[in-house]
Amino acid sequence: MQGLMMDWPLTLPSILEHAALYHPEREVVARTVEGPIHRYGYAEALARTKRLANALLALGVKPGDRVATLAWSTHRHFELYFAATGIGAVLHTINPRLHPDQVAWVANHAEDTVLLFDITFAGLAAETAPKMQTVKTLVALTERAHLPADAPAGTLVYEELLAKASPDLAWPSLDENAACGLCYTSGTTGNPKGVLYSHRSTVLHALACGLPDNFDFSAADVIMPCAQMYHANAWGTPYAAPLVGAKLVLPGRALDGRSVAELIETEAVTFVLGVPTIWVGVAEHLEQAGKTLNSVKTIAIGGSAPTAALIERIEGRLGGKVQQIWGMTETSPLGVINKPLPQHAGEDAAASLQRKLKQGRGLWGVELRVVDEAGELLPRDGKSAGRLQVKGPWVASAYFKHDGAASFTDDGWFDTGDIATIDPEGYLRLTDRAKDVIKSGGEWISTLDLEDAVCSHPAVAMAAAVGMPHPKWDERPLLLVTLRAGQSADPEALKRHVAERVAKWWVPDEVRIVEELPIGPTGKVLKRELRDRLATARPVPAE
């Protein structure tokens, strides 16, 4: 027997329609690529989105067609999030920080038909478009006056397309399981792999984001994702914000400390999200300016694990509480969120900080397990480390065109490639990426714990631990660190600092101070690139 409830598909246009009806004046604020701040309410956003949908239809976009973007987090990209998906097309957000050859490769692999690009990427579009075998139409996300001279010949202008299109549109009836978004992994090893989201998975993900023990969003919030919209749907916030009627602030391309701090302050942002490197820059700006912020309630950190020192530093300057999160492109990307349990009420500062170093607790919608090398389930004791596997309604069941099948188990789980433990309270703690773990004398050394130890030194800004070949122990750790502005430190003193905080045999053979660490397309330190550099030449230490 089946229930007698309305068959109402979970599709993305319903989110913006709801926001326009019940929160028509609640703003979407964006720092444009051209420079000025743009703001409008959800009602106007819906009208422009329907114009865009009609414009795409007039360009010949059909259900299932892949519509590609090379774009920052702006109001125009926001409109594409709903217009392309609302007519049954698939929005393919290309990471513009990929190598140009990879940009062309993912466009060809996705078989994109239309490419819309911000004016800062006009040169990249001109370089890669001739290599894109299926792209027939190019659109610059701007008005005629700002169309760059180096834009590809025949490029159409976004605002002109919207001006000619009607705001009247009845969204087509869509299957909630139809594809709506395509995002490729960063491709640090081999070619990127495509993750194909559905309307159902994306709506469920947006709903989960807002739950009280997750991000706890409401119409009273001002949400500012500093995770760009070209990667994993900016952690779902461009969908979650209108779903609850929250104000959405989009930072454009300006993610330097001063620009981010300025938007937080002027727009009274309550929730921010980004990788640790973003918050290092914001903290440094605020320290140099002698300022603190007072509107922020939550600072969500994902992409890579923050150290204890960074958590204390940014909470002191941004004023909110750090909430660590973990996820992947393959998990839409919400995986776990670090929220306290009732029994943690009244915990002291030291205990609170140690809890915050864990990635977070499992939540409804993502099941977690840790297995050993033989695939046997490991206990949730907070000590047994193994491969982290996940499954759930917003977790990929396969890669686009079924690449990378080895990442999916026979019993329906996705193998994340992370090494982790789960404790009795359900908190996940990553110890490494499987490809980054250091194995010395047959035992694992956690690079994250080494990085946390050295970053507790007041002179250290960032750190990366990598394994170096060793004739006796197979590998030994090397720590590379950057220093805070105006600070100095002795490598041997840093080594002694680490020795006081980790097991004796974990202590790195060398601590090396460098000017910078290589940062990848999603804001993470590129450890593979570090290892490649170290294998060929010794980096020149900083002065």
Q: Domain with 195 in it: what CATH number?
A: 3.40.50.12780
Q: How far apart are the C-alpha atoms of 456 and 15, rounded to whole Å?
A: 43
The CATH number given to whatever domain includes residue 527 is 3.30.300.30
pLDDT value of residue 502: 84
**Domain-embedded: residue 279:** no
pLDDT value of residue 540: 39
pLDDT value of residue 305: 80
Q: What is the mean pLDDT of residues 213-218?
A: 97
pLDDT digits (tens, 9 = 90+) for 82-137: 999 999 999 999 999 888 988 999 999 999 999 999 999 999 999 999 999 999 99
**Domain-embedded: residue 263:** no
**Domain-embedded: residue 376:** no
**Domain-embedded: residue 287:** no
Q: What is the mean pLDDT of residues 72-85?
A: 98
Which range, 127-136, 436-445, 501-510, is most confident?
A: 127-136
Give catalytic status of residue 160 as yes or no. no
Which residues contact residue 436 at a Cβ distance below 8 angstroms, ignoring those fewer than 6 apart? 447, 466, 467, 527
**Domain-embedded: residue 272:** no
**Domain-embedded: residue 157:** yes
27, 284, 330, 451: the active-site residue: 330
Residues 245 and 25 sit within 8 Å (Cβ to Cβ): no
The token pair at 24 is 């028509």
Q: What is the mean pLDDT of residues 406-412?
A: 94
439, 443, 492, 505: the active-site residue: 439
Going by pLDDT thresholds of 50, 70 and 90, the confidence category of residue 543 is very low
Q: How far apart are the C-alpha atoms of 81 and 455, rounded to whole Å?
A: 38
Range of the domain at 487: 438-536
Q: How far apart are the C-alpha atoms of 251 and 456, rounded to whole Å?
A: 30
pLDDT digits (tens, 9 = 90+) for 291-326: 999 999 999 999 878 888 889 999 999 999 999 999
pLDDT value of residue 542: 42
Higher pLDDT, 384 or 506: 384
**Domain-embedded: residue 33:** yes
Last residue of a domain, one of 177, 193, 213: 213
Going by pLDDT thresholds of 50, 70 and 90, the confidence category of residue 541 is very low
> Nearest CA to 16 among 114, 84, 118?
84
Is 189's pLDDT higher than 60?
no
pLDDT digits (tens, 9 = 90+) for 461-476: 989 999 888 877 778 9
- DSSP designation for 146: G
Taking each helix axis as running N to C, give the angle between helix 75-86 and helix 13-22, from 0 to 180 degrees, rounded to the nearest 10: 120
Give catalytic status of residue 439 as yes or no. yes
**Domain-embedded: residue 71:** yes
Q: What is the mean pLDDT of residues 422-444?
A: 81
Kindly report which listed range (269-273, 385-389, 511-515, 536-540) carries the lowest average pLDDT score: 536-540
Q: What is the mean pLDDT of residues 47-51?
A: 98
Last residue of a domain, one of 190, 213, 236: 213
What distances in angstroms separate CA 538 from CA 188, 463, 479, 531, one per listed residue? 22, 17, 13, 11
Measured in whole angstroms, how far is the alpha carbon of residue 298 from the centre of its chain? 16
Amino acid residing at 392: G
127, 188, 444, 495: the active-site residue: 444
Give catalytic status of residue 435 as yes or no. no
pLDDT value of residue 60: 98
> Nearest CA to 206 among 245, 250, 249, 241?
241
pLDDT value of residue 441: 66
Domain total in the chain: 2
List residues bridging with 417 in a β-sheet: none
Q: What is the mean pLDDT of residues 56-61?
A: 98
Amino acid residing at 270: T
Give catalytic status of residue 185 as yes or no. yes
Last residue of a domain, one of 168, 183, 213: 213
Please provide the average confidence, as pLDDT, over all residues in the chain: 92
List residues bridging with 477 in a β-sheet: 467
β-pairing verdict for 247-250 and 222-225: parallel
185, 237, 307, 522: the active-site residue: 185
